[in-house]
């Protein structure tokens, strides 16, 4: 606080010297007094606490040095949103650790059959990995903006941290585009399999079989849990994309208030989606035996498929059987 007041006093002094403010406004308060508060200084300036100056460039906004509503937003951004983001991530990691300790790795109860079924083709895997890799870099470079100075700067030193952050910013700005392309791809490829149906209710009632060994509620290509992930990614990704583009082109945004709104939605959505994705990555890799193959080679073990997506296996096998059967005309 004392440091902030000091900076403010210096700034006001400078501004005064440059003749930016009306001298009669400053006459109401002594900026060097020990008891003076930031608020008192702003009130003394009149104009609702807005600090403005004269500029010669066309962008009139640039003449506004301080606006009280911007300061309220900066506090929301600097404290509340950063705290929510950090706790969302730490909370999810703690939950998953607990889940792992209680439940352990989810195994294929009937063991591997050795027979494979194609689950995702090359286009689906390309879309998934483009989405996944860009999202992870976007999330990490975004996280660096929030906690980089506290966590990484002391570890890396100014030079390396500066280089990393500069590249992080470039990556964040440019990888947003392939992320959006991949988002549209998965929407087109998978939306048909993610429309909620009655089977999902039963899956949810049985906790997806995740909590108890040997419980395998039926599911089609995607179970209810995956549908939640899918829609969170699609809707969250769309919100991130729209607000992100607005932040990339701030001159297109009508007012500061809109810009601050987009920024808040961007930060909140990123925090919630990152936490959800951490859970997804856990289940798709170390948390469940046989799951990674679906996005690795594209082929899963038949017993894994029967345990987690029994109705989908029937559909696929049904199709395979009807394809193998000779048609009457043949």
Q: What is the dihedral of CA 264, 266, 268, 270, to 10 degrees?
A: -160
From the list 70-78, 88-96, 229-237, 321-329, the region that binds ligand HEM by CB under 6 A is 229-237
Q: How many residues bind ligand HEM (CB under 6 A)?
A: 21
From the list 24-32, 131-139, 195-203, 205-213, the region that binds ligand HEM by CB under 6 A is 131-139
- Of 172, 216, 280, 306, the one binding ligand HEM by CB under 6 A: 280
Q: Does 244 bind ligand HEM (CB under 6 A)?
A: no
- Decide: 312 and 220 in contact? Cβ < 8 Å: yes
From the list 33-41, 83-91, 128-136, 168-176, the region that binds ligand HEM by CB under 6 A is 128-136
Q: Does 229 bind ligand HEM (CB under 6 A)?
A: yes
Which of residues 31 and 290 has its CB atom nearest to ligand HEM in the complex? 290
- Chain centroid to Cα 150, Å, comes to 20
Q: Does 199 bind ligand HEM (CB under 6 A)?
A: no
Q: Does 220 bind ligand HEM (CB under 6 A)?
A: no
From the list 129-137, 163-171, 206-214, 241-249, the region that binds ligand HEM by CB under 6 A is 129-137
From the list 16-24, 46-54, 226-234, 254-262, the region that binds ligand HEM by CB under 6 A is 226-234
Structure tokens at 316: 């696929």
∠ Cα 310 316 317 (to 5°): 85
- Of 152, 189, 281, 316, the one binding ligand HEM by CB under 6 A: 281
Q: What is the bridge-based pairing of β-strands 116-118 and 64-66?
A: unpaired
- Of 45, 119, 243, 266, the one binding ligand HEM by CB under 6 A: 119
Q: Does 135 bind ligand HEM (CB under 6 A)?
A: yes
Measure the CA–CA gap between 219 and 296, rounded to whole angstroms.
Answer: 21
Three-state secondary structure call for residue 48: helix
Measure the CA–CA gap between 217 and 165, rounded to whole angstroms.
Answer: 46
∠ Cα 129 135 138 (to 5°): 140
Structure tokens at 141: 């470079």
Q: Does 8 bind ligand HEM (CB under 6 A)?
A: no
Which of 310, 277, 300, 284 has its CA nearest to residue 120?
300
Measure the CA–CA gap between 303 and 297, rounded to whole angstroms.
Answer: 16
Q: Does 233 bind ligand HEM (CB under 6 A)?
A: yes
- Of 44, 81, 128, 144, the one binding ligand HEM by CB under 6 A: 128
Which of 158, 182, 197, 198 has its CA nearest to residue 233?
182
- Decide: 189 and 159 in contact? Cβ < 8 Å: no
Measure the CA–CA gap between 164 and 112, rounded to whole angstroms.
Answer: 44
Site for ligand HEM in 38-77 (CB under 6 A): none
Site for ligand HEM in 283-312 (CB under 6 A): 284-285, 291-292, 294-295
Helix, strand, coil shares of the chain, percent, nearest 5, are 70, 5, 25
* Contacts with ligand HEM, 143-182, as mask; x by CB under 6 A: ----------------------------------------
Which of residues 148 and 287 has its CB atom nearest to ligand HEM in the complex? 287
Q: Does 132 bind ligand HEM (CB under 6 A)?
A: yes
Backbone angles phi, psi at 270, to 5 degrees: -60, -40
Q: Does 186 bind ligand HEM (CB under 6 A)?
A: yes
Backbone angles phi, psi at 206, to 5 degrees: -90, 15
Which of residues 226 and 260 has its CB atom nearest to ligand HEM in the complex? 226
Residue ranges binding ligand HEM (CB under 6 A): 119, 128, 131-132, 135-136, 186, 222, 226, 229-230, 233, 277, 280-281, 284-285, 291-292, 294-295
């Amino acid at each position: 606080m004392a440091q902030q007041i000091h900076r403010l006093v210096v700034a006001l002094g400078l501004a005064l010297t440059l003749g930016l403010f009306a001298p009669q406004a400053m006459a109401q308060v002594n900026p060097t007094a020990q008891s003076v508060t930031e608020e008192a200084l702003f009130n003394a300036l009149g104009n609702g606490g807005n600090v403005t100056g004269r500029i010669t460039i066309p962008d009139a906004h640039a003449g506004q040095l301080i606006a009280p509503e911007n300061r309220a937003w900066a506090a929301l951004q600097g404290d509340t949103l950063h705290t929510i983001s950090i706790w969302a991530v730490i909370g999810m990691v703690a939950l998953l650790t607990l889940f792992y300790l209680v439940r352990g790795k989810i195994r294929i109860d009937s063991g591997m059959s050795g027979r494979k079924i194609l689950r995702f083709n090359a286009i689906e895997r390309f879309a998934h990995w483009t989405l996944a890799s860009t999202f992870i870099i976007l999330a990490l470079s975004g996280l660096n903006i929030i906690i980089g100075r506290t966590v990484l700067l002391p570890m890396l030193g100014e030079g390396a941290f500066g280089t990393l952050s500069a590249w992080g910013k470039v990556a964040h700005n440019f990888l947003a585009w392939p992320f959006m392309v991949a988002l549209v791809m998965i929407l087109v490829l998978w939306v048909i399999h993610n429309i909620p149906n009655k089977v999902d209710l039963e899956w949810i009632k049985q906790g997806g079989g995740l909590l108890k060994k040997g419980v395998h509620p039926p599911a089609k290509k995607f179970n209810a849990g995956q549908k939640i992930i899918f829609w969170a990614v699609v809707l969250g990704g769309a919100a991130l994309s729209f607000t992100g583009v607005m932040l990339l082109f701030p001159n297109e945004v009508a007012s500061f208030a809109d810009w601050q709104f987009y920024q808040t939605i961007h930060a909140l959505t990123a925090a919630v989606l990152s936490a959800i994705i951490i859970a997804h990555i856990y289940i798709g890799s170390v948390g469940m035996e046989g799951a990674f193959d679906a996005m690795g080679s594209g082929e899963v073990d038949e017993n894994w498929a029967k345990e987690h997506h029994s109705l989908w296996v029937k559909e696929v096998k049904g199709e395979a059987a009807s394809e193998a059967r000779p048609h009457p005309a043949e």
